[in-house]
Amino acid sequence: MRLHRILLGFILAVVALLLIGCVTVVLCGLRDNLHPADLAVVLGNKVQPDGAPSEMLKARLDHTVELYQQGYFKLILVSGGHGKEGFDEPVVMRHYLEAQAIPHDAIFEDNQGLTTWRTAQNTALFLKTHNLKSALVISQYFHLARCQLAFSKFGIAPLYWSHAPFWSMRDFYSVPREVIGYGDYWFRNANQMDSAPSLE
């Protein structure tokens, strides 16, 4: 009986910590920190089988266009990888932004942004290579807490962020997953990953 009580107490503690983490992730992500920045970094997401951005990715890109038009940044780094649908996310993102009248020369591609960690790593190199300082991260609200942690691990400062206005039922899965991902990133350091590839 005592063992059962200990086990129940442990389970309740884990659930409570997860709930607190979920609330923290949501509140952190919904509270934008918008300031003019040298570079906007747009995190990739799924591309549809027909080559069009998914609704979530489209929301990120539309928000990027809106902030660009408001003058928050002049340069954009689109970051992602090669999805199972057969498309390079950054290429699709570039084409979408250009179709919204974003100049070709204002957009740069990070085709090695396979994870949030790698995107942060590659962004740090890009900023250093181009003699830039500040970055503004654009993603979904539930993703921004982990983005902030990853980018700060690579010394990117000042760092700003803004969430794309898109919600779905999948968020009920994504938010707890981000809490676990945040815990993983908390114990990492910038030397744990392979060196980032050179970015032009």
Task: Find out if CATH 1.10.10.10 is the number for domain 2-192.
Answer: no
Per-residue model confidence (pLDDT) at position 66: 98
Per-residue model confidence (pLDDT) at position 193: 58
Per-residue model confidence (pLDDT) at position 192: 66
- Mean pLDDT (10-residue bins), the chain, 200 residues: 75 78 85 97 94 96 98 98 86 97 97 95 97 97 96 97 92 91 88 50
pTM more than 0.85: yes
The domain ranges of the chain are 2-192
Per-residue model confidence (pLDDT) at position 195: 45
Tokens for 58, please give them.
């489209």
Q: Is 82 exposed, middle or buried (0-12, 13-18, 19+ CB in 10 A)?
A: middle
- CA 118 → CA 154, 169, 177, 198, distances in Å? 10, 27, 18, 13
